[in-house]
Amino acid sequence: MSAPFIMTVDVEDWFTSSVDLFAEAAAAGQHGRKPDESVLHNTLRCLELFARNGSKATFFILTTVAEAYPDLIRELERQGHEVGIHAHRHRLVYNLTPQEFEEDLKRALEILHGTGVKNILGFRAPYWSITKKSLWALEILQKHGLKYDASIFPIYRELYGIPDAPTVPHEIRPGFWEFPPATVRCLGVNLPIAGGGYLRMLPFGWLKPLIRRASRSGALVFYLHPYELDPTDAHLPIPLTTLKSRLYYRQQMLGRRGNAAKIEKLLQLAKFQSIAGAFADKLGLPVNVNRA
């Protein structure tokens, strides 16, 4: 397998990651809440997994986590991983105005710099929500010194995706890169194999040949959420009242029990790297930047 294998982690607790998907939660003003402590323990589990396999990753941080647990961010850097931004409040980018998006980004940058992170290069939008409706966000990211985005999913979903977007890393604006999550082309459509529910629910024996196939065409960017390693992290601080919310809740629990073992098998396929580590030259990093 020749393409670089990239691991990314969106650092957030489970409930905060779903606020916009539970109508009850958004209505109850749950955006920006203090993340559940489970994010701390589950991110440390990710670190153990990666250390055991000699892998490095890019951690995209929801900065309410950095505010509540700043030592966690320092530990990620201490272990040689890359730290990027997920957002401050976990909201759909295309539901924000450019001004609201920029304010959130500035806050996130300020908080991460406050924990001591110096080189912040990358961004991943909550819910992959940079779509054709919100491509304006890329210019704002670049304006604030970021070098890349990793938010455009080249598939179609009701909530996100640009199905005809390039499936391999590419310079989406001059001097600014896009790193899409891994997909494999099948019967004329891109199938997601990169992480989340897709990775949790497919048997590893089915995934492995798909990963091998995808690796022939470009970099393989995988993603993981710390809570996906923890079948018990499903704390609901508010009651769910709609059928849609209850179904979503059930779907979120699927495949979690065996997921840590599956991630371990995935990590054994290759030496995983962070985005900055694998693409330092393309991102124009100075030689003294951590190339983990």
Chain positions contacting Zn ion, by CB under 5 A: 10, 12, 17, 126
Q: How would you write 270-289 as a 3-class SS string? A: CCCECHHHHCCCCCCCCCCC
**Nearest CB to Zn ion, comparing residues 10 and 104:** 10
Shortest distance (Å) from residue 25 CB to Zn ion: 14
Shortest distance (Å) from residue 62 CB to Zn ion: 6
Using an 8 Å Cβ cutoff, are 3 and 217 in contact? yes
**Nearest CB to Zn ion, comparing residues 10 and 149:** 10
**Nearest CB to Zn ion, comparing residues 10 and 36:** 10
**Nearest CB to Zn ion, comparing residues 17 and 215:** 17
Shortest distance (Å) from residue 119 CB to Zn ion: 22
Q: What CA–CA distances, in Å, run from 130 to 104, 178, 222?
A: 15, 11, 18
DSSP string for residues in 111-165: HHHHTT-----EE--GGG--SGGGTHHHHHHHHTT--EE----SS--SSS--TTS
Shortest distance (Å) from residue 208 CB to Zn ion: 26
**Nearest CB to Zn ion, comparing residues 124 and 147:** 124
Shortest distance (Å) from residue 74 CB to Zn ion: 21
Strand extents, DSSP E, the chain: 5-11, 58-62, 82-87, 122-123, 148-149, 170-173, 176-178, 183-186, 189-192, 220-224
